[in-house]
Amino acid sequence: MPDLVLIPNLTVILAHHDDESLFVGGLLSARREAGVQTKVITVCDVSVENPVDDVLKEKNRQLNRSMAYQKVCVQLGLGLNDRVCLNVRKNIQASSSAEEIEEAEKLIASQLARQYRPNTVVLTHPASGPVEHPQHSVVHRAVISAYPAKTPVLVYGDESAALQLPVNLQAKRQLLQSYRYGTTRTPEWDPFENPIYSPWCRDHEGYSWFGVDAWLKNGDRYGIKQIAAVLAYLEGRAGRLIDLGTGNGELLRQLIQTGWPAMSLAGQDIEPRHAALAELRSGVFIRVGDADDLSTVQGEFDFITAIGWLHNDWSFKYANQIPKLKRPRKNRYSKLAKSFWGKLVPGGEIIYTCRDEFLEWEKSLTKVGFGDILLLDEESGVRRAIKKG
């Protein structure tokens, strides 16, 4: 069973009552079945979420919603200490000004950081969900800014990893049926059949939500195929390996499962949250840093893996955050090739993908002395190059 179901002390932070069922109801149900504790924090004061002209109708709707939430908490096994409402009285609507939105984000972030300090992983919903909601966006950004890099923040519905989760969708459906309140939701209302909600109810919770870069594109699950190709190539081999741009650490995790000792593995990622999550998932030490400077990495390696990121234009992607990356891509590839060369033993191998510009990348490899460049798997695009001399 994947670790997101079993990971201890998961904290879920969402905007509203009913978001817990719509977004992560299947996961929470699976965690209850596994006997693992979860804390659910809702941020917004339900009394100001949806103001309407008919005050009595709105009060009745919110009362029904609150009663439904209590029923859902019982179904999920959430005790009084497992559920919290911040009651942030900021009524953010689509018409709210930028100043009002910023003020609300800062208020929520400060309350979260002051009152709740999770020691493992925080899970929140995306900036927009099955329907556009300004409070979702505010809470999403507030959660991201509330916690330091050492606390991984996962975003529900992030299509950047495709690791199947054994979530309980039947239980999720029952949870959502508890929220049949208000004039727009009839007893027959079923989000699993609603064309707006059904992708979120059925599809998104079939995958995990790890904030890694571009493993999926145009619906193709490159990440799974690439990892499978790398594992097949390394089967029966041994040595020291470092996974650069490790993302969520899935390759390292699977290498350990196939028998590679953790002490022979290392990882690195430029994004601190990715590194923290990868280390948590794999048990391998993950260094935070850029792949074009491996001078502080100890020792040499028999294998360097660079899967799923060489084709990205990192020099522009991180230009505002890391000024040193403001340089042409051609020079970027040249520096990366030299960096890899300096950390491989003679005869060591780079195992990589570079979907769109592999000719330019391989020209840089050849220039510094790599050879025997070979396409290992056509479907995933995984290749290898060997350090000569």
Q: Are 197 and 205 in contact (CB under 8 A)?
A: no
Q: Is 370 helix (H, G, I), strand (E, B) or coil?
A: strand
Q: Place 61 in a pLDDT band, splitting at 50, 70 and 90.
A: low
Identify the bridge partners of residue 287 per DSSP, sorted by sequence position.
Answer: 268
Q: Are 274 and 320 in contact (CB under 8 A)?
A: no
Q: Place 48 in a pLDDT band, splitting at 50, 70 and 90.
A: very low
Structure confidence by residue, pLDDT tens digits, 83-98:
888 877 666 776 778 8
- Identity of the highest mean pLDDT range in 218-232, 299-313, 364-378: 364-378
pLDDT higher than threshold 90 for residue 366: yes
How many CB atoms lie under 10 A from the CB of residue 82? 14
Q: Which CATH architecture has domain 216-387?
A: 3-Layer(aba) Sandwich (3.40)
Any idea which of 77-81, 138-142, 178-182 has the lowest mean pLDDT? 178-182
Q: Are 382 and 353 in contact (CB under 8 A)?
A: yes
Q: Fold identical between 3-206 and 216-387? A: yes
Q: Place 316 in a pLDDT band, splitting at 50, 70 and 90.
A: very low
What are the sequence ranges of the domains in the chain?
3-206, 216-387
CA atoms within 13 A on the CB side of 383: 20
- Identity of the highest mean pLDDT range in 89-103, 120-134, 180-194: 89-103
Structure confidence by residue, pLDDT tens digits, 215-238:
322 233 447 788 899 999 999 999
Structure confidence by residue, pLDDT tens digits, 228-271:
999 999 999 999 999 998 887 889 989 999 999 999 999 998 87
Rg of the Cα trace of the chain?
A: 23
- Topology (CATH) of 3-206: Rossmann fold (3.40.50)
pLDDT higher than threshold 90 for residue 306: yes
Whole-number average pLDDT of the chain: 77
pTM of the model: 0.59
Task: Give the mean model confidence (pLDDT) for residues 276-282.
Answer: 80
pLDDT of amino acid 333:
85
Kindly provide the b/e burial profile for residues 260-290, where b requires at least 16 CB atoms within 10 angstroms of the residue's own CB. Answer: beeebbbbbbbbebbbbbbbbbbebebbebb
Q: Place 372 in a pLDDT band, splitting at 50, 70 and 90.
A: very high
Backbone angles phi, psi at 72, to 5 degrees: -65, -40
Q: Where are the beta strands (DSSP E) in the chain?
A: 10-14, 38-44, 83-88, 122-124, 153-155, 216-217, 220-221, 241-244, 265-269, 286-288, 301-306, 344-352, 370-377, 382-387
